[in-house]
Structure 1
């Protein structure tokens, strides 16, 4: 397969990622401290207040998947006793550690100075950090985020998180880094976050256009990268989202669809979909191609909200810095209950005028996969639009069957066509 064609924003993001890996792996030369933390509910702006470099194990697992290395890492972890049913992000990370723990830049990952866990709906994160703590024996800071079981956050939940930030997380980061916390510095980072978030939301909402100038699932992976990881709160992220917005606007002006990896604009859009669940990373381009070959564009997705529900109105707020961090953690998609997720998906189908809901059920990811059949049936009942179900995995190549996925997609598009014909006949 030829090299994927990339837009300026994608090249900019690639350089940002490379610089971050260089900062992580040059820790011993620079003396900077390194944290390990997760994407949903991460406290990147707070970490920057202590000059701590942010390393994210999920992103490392994704990088391994896209580089076709994760399969070997997973098998290495299973040899040491990890079950086939364990999250493959975890096994990819553990296996990578056993095989030298080499970063994408070819240099070894250093041991983290602190493990920072913002628990947001995925219990596997806690077990993952237990394994990392046993390996690295470094300080571990846990920010417990209450689950929105009743469908909304309360003042008590927010106050509980702020109390932990003040009494546990911030003192712990001060001790690890030797840097005194400066709330005005945090305010500055949050101000930059909000600017970037405004432009991200604008870009995602352009999926309402016909043709859609974006793909909110496969292309969306690139759109959300900086805001979900080690760059939220930086001027680099602000510049990235300004660049992305210009690119999307240019496509709107030219009435063009998103750019495919082959370098062509995807203009012949026959089906508009909302997609639930993460993508498969080991066969990412092949998976994506199955959609645009059939004329299917994703106009909205839940995966682009896993690191923050910005399109629901949330912005990091420099006037209420710690409270804002608490609200961010509480509102992540994986911290929302199933009825709330149904509301979100049904609203996307209506607002983006989608033809239906497609669920990619991830074998080893309970945070997304639990309850998805109920989601599918309820969204279908509420919207009257057909839904479908495919199955892959995150970074385990053994659970990607191209033939099965292709067959199910083709059947689903036939179902949409039948629904359209029925509607025309009734009219």
Structure 2
């Protein structure tokens, strides 16, 4: 027998296990537990609701004992597990355009492959589709396709767009009326459970605890060094509250553990956790606009921490709620609170409000500049980003840059191209520091708030 060990080619070698803090591991356990819950729901006599992250009415759905499936989360989880490429190509062979949102194609391709979820657990056919429209027209077309496939009831909560940059009382009243007259009666009929507003209030009390702790975590990035990465690290931290756990004791516990971990890192003067361990030397502090690329997530992140670049805040970490600007679910006014939550989601803000938000972050987090990751197939984020970039540069005097990737389509992540652009951007930041151009031009601009 020949015992010679043949070395594996470098391209085939498995990457070492990513380093994660305890909260990141706990987040993974929670997400996996929800997939297991979904797999068992119908056997246990429970109904299943499919819904989206922005405008997520998780507390309300729990009032009807509904298990919650989130198509966006399914797509990104498949992307991180390198499964989405095949699903997308299957959907394109079935007739869907290359320009369609890749979340949609990854989800439809997964359905064509036998309803097996990202963790290998079977995903149940939903009993109801709940769409809270918050600025993404694609959501409506996505649910049309799912409805045609499964022939299940669809409940639509229409949320007015913040075209004027504020939430007017009539907008809030309009959403509350829909909740009372359409959404709640519809969920009662489908679930067979009578709505109990006190139950909703109790869930919201848990939501507030988690929201308070999440804000403390995100704002810890104002420290130097930042103990977190507010983009790559934050996608772990926002997972439970943006999906099926907001309003639960599990989420309350998760965010308490997370806050305690981050506070300890601040006391010890430690930088953020990366897949290769603690980041030792913070060189650049960035604000990032746009979602991350999921299929090459770890390689994408490495391009940043290899250069000592920390994202201290990002707009993507607010896609499921602008908690750091003061919003909290209110148990004393639960339906009005749900309405304000939906109206205030990031994708429902107009461009001036988004620009105000980014300028505030550059000031408050003492950032060196703005980086935009423009997503090829996501018009909800990408429309207007060049205008945003120019306006932020003009107002703050800080350099901005533009890269292009996609959500879960591996064909649209060019590592060499992204790396070259990032290196050029970091050189631009260095030059700005050396010349001093733009220093002191950082106005505080109030984000439009609920009126």
Aligned-pair CA distance for 1:426:
9.9
Q: TM-score, normalised by structure 1?
A: 0.98
> What SS does the corresponding residue of 2:155 show, helix, strand or coil?
strand
Structure 1 residue aligned with 2:283 = 270
Give me the whole-angstrom Cα distance separating, in 2, the residues matched to 1:108 and 1:41: 26
Q: Does 1:34 align with 2:51?
A: no
Give me the whole-angstrom Cα distance separating, in 1, the residues matched to 2:103 and 2:401: 25
Structure 1 residue aligned with 2:101 = 87
Q: 1:68-125 CA deviation, whole Å, 9 max, x = no partner?
A: 0000000000001100000000000001111112013323211100000000000000
Structure 2 residue aligned with 1:148 = 162
Give me the whole-angstrom Cα distance separating, in 2, the residues matched to 1:83 and 1:167: 37
Q: Does 1:412 align with 2:428?
A: no
Q: 1:139-176 CA deviation, whole Å, 9 max, x = no partner?
A: 10000000000000111000000000000000000011
Q: Which runs of 4+ in 1 moved over 4 A?
A: 424-427
Q: Does 1:20 align with 2:34?
A: yes
Structure 2 residue aligned with 1:327 = 340
Give me the whole-angstrom Cα distance separating, in 1, the residues matched to 2:437 and 2:410: 42
Q: 1:251-306 CA deviation, whole Å, 9 max, x = no partner?
A: 101100011112x2112010000000000000000000000001100001000000
In structure 1, runs of 5+ residues without a counterpart are none
For 1:244-255, what aligned pairs fall within 5 Å after superposition? 244-255=258-269
Partners of 2:230 and 2:314 within 8 A in 1: yes
Q: 1:191-233 CA deviation, whole Å, 9 max, x = no partner?
A: 1001100000011001110000010000010111111000000
Q: Does 1:102 align with 2:113?
A: no
Aligned-pair CA distance for 1:424:
8.5
Instruction: Give the count of matched residue pairs.
Output: 426
Partners of 1:211 and 1:267 within 8 A in 2: no
For 1:276-291, what aligned pairs fall within 5 Å after superposition? 276-291=289-304
Give me the whole-angstrom Cα distance separating, in 1, the residues matched to 2:291 and 2:262: 23
> What SS does the corresponding residue of 1:218 show, helix, strand or coil?
coil
Q: Does 1:214 align with 2:228?
A: yes
Structure 2 residue aligned with 1:305 = 318
Give me the whole-angstrom Cα distance separating, in 2, the residues matched to 1:341 and 1:214: 23
Structure 2 residue aligned with 1:202 = 216
Residue 426 to residue 220, structure 1, CA distance change in 2 (3 Å): closer
Q: 1:327-380 CA deviation, whole Å, 9 max, x = no partner?
A: 000000000000000000011001100000000000000000000000000000
Aligned-pair CA distance for 1:27:
2.1
Structure 2 residue aligned with 1:293 = 306
Give me the whole-angstrom Cα distance separating, in 1, the residues matched to 2:192 and 2:295: 40
For 1:120-139, what aligned pairs fall within 5 Å after superposition? 120-139=134-153
Structure 1 residue aligned with 2:8 = none
Partners of 1:256 and 1:265 within 8 A in 2: yes
In structure 2, runs of 5+ residues without a counterpart are 1-14, 441-451
1:158 to 172, 179, 188: 172
Q: Does 1:363 align with 2:369?
A: no
Q: Which one has the bigger helix percentage? A: 1
Give me the whole-angstrom Cα distance separating, in 2, the residues matched to 1:261 and 1:31: 40
Structure 1 residue aligned with 2:196 = 182
Give me the whole-angstrom Cα distance separating, in 2, the residues matched to 1:425 and 1:279: 28
Aligned-pair CA distance for 1:425:
12
1:243 to 240, 253, 257: 257
Give me the whole-angstrom Cα distance separating, in 2, the residues matched to 1:104 and 1:414: 39
Give me the whole-angstrom Cα distance separating, in 2, the residues matched to 1:3 and 1:367: 34
Give me the CA root mean square deviation: 1.2
